[in-house]
Amino acid sequence: MCSVLPQVIRAEKNSLNNRFLPYSEIDTEAVLSVDDDAHLRHDEIVFGFRVWRDERDRVVGFPGRYHAWDLNYGGWLYNSNYSCELSMVLTGAAFFHKYYASIYSHVMPQAIRDKVDEYMNCEDIAMNFLVSHITRKPPVKVTSRWTFRCPGCPVSLSEDDSHFTERHSCINFFTQVYGYNPLLNTQYRVDSVLFKTRLPHDKQKCFKFI
């Protein structure tokens, strides 16, 4: 069994864009991006990586989210409610190819990274926009997890009252920058055949058993 010592890199500035810097220390094709308050089991990580090996051009991860058009007022909305469909996989627990780190940091329009810094938010939405724009494919969600619970963790950025308002704004701003909205909806999800999860009664609109 081989072991690798973790390396701690101190960034030059406090920015969520640092999550996607193409550090030279990364010598693997796969990058596992994980928030410090995300709880993932070892078997979930292994399963997610195995799925990513077959879908290397996509974001492959656990928490799914989707966007929807506001029929009342117009514009795009960000939605985190449990749904059959998704168009984004949050990079708080996801695999992506290191190639996208270079594209995000050096090719993606600077205006998008500036918006991420302005809000201290939306870097995950920006990465989903980028990958869907390049591949014209939706992300891949693995397992039935929709969110992560961390009872002992301090309040995160996502608990702020302005969090969702900013994410609505980000989707609309990124759409303006790209000239269209590249996010694609999907109901595709990958689960291990070793598990058969019984879904709660109110979540059976997609599948009864998984």
Q: Which of 210, 129, 106, 121 is nearest to 176 (CA)?
A: 129
| Per annotation, catalytic residue among 36, 124, 161, 202 | 124
Backbone angles phi, psi at 204, to 5 degrees: -95, 15
Secondary structure of residue 69 in the 3-state scheme? strand
Torsion sign over Cα 104, 165, 206, 180: negative
DSSP 144-192: S------TTSPPPGGGSTTHHHHHHHHHHHHHHHHTS-----B--EE--
Catalytic-residue membership of 202: no
What percentage of the chain's residues is helix, strand, coil (to nearest 5)?
Answer: 35, 15, 50
Measured between alpha carbons, how far is 118 from 15 in angstroms, rounded to an integer? 10
Q: Which amino acids are annotated catalytic?
A: 124
